[in-house]
Chains A and B, each alone.
Chain A
Amino acid sequence: MIQLEWVLGLLGGLVIGSAAAMYLLVSGRIMGASGILGGLIDGSNPNWERLAFVIGLVGAPLLLNSYAGYPATNITANPTLLIIGGLAVGLGTRLANGCTSGHGVCGMSRFSVRGIVATLVYLGAGFLTMAVLRHGLGWL
Chain B
Amino acid sequence: MIRVLVAIFCGGMFGLGLVISGMTDTNKVQGWLDVLGAWDPTLAFVLGGAILPMLLAWRIAAKRERSRLGSPIPEAPNPTLDARLIGGSALFGVGWALVGLCPGPAMAVLGWGGQSVAVFFAAMVAGMLLARLPILRAQAPK
Contacts and interface: CB of A to CB of B under 8 A. Distances in A.
A and B from one assembly? yes
Interface of A: 5-31, 33-34, 37-38, 41-44, 48-50, 52-62, 64-65, 70-77, 79, 81-97, 99-101, 103-106, 108-110, 112-114, 117-119, 121-131, 133-135, 140
Contacts of A117: 81, 85-86, 89
A-B complex: 7 closest residue pairs judged by Cβ atoms = A13-B49, A90-B127, A12-B21, A86-B123, A125-B93, A56-B11, A88-B95
Contacts of B22: 5, 8-9, 12, 71
- The secondary-structure label for the interface of chain B is helix
B138 interface: no
B67 A106 contact: no
B107 A73 contact: no
Contacts of B134: none
A73 B24 contact: yes
SS class of chain A's interface: helix, strand, loop or mixed? helix
B46 A16 contact: yes
Given A21-B53, A93-B103, A110-B58, A130 B18 contact: no
Nearest to A78: B116
Given A12-B19, A101-B104, 12 more contacts: A12-B49, A19-B13, A21-B53, A48-B4, A65-B112, A85-B99, A96-B92, A119-B89, A126-B97, A130-B34, A130-B37, A134-B37
Interface residues of B, number: 117
B107 A122 contact: no
A109 B58 contact: yes
Nearest to A93: B92
Given A23-B7, A56-B10, A125 B90 contact: yes
A12 B20 contact: yes
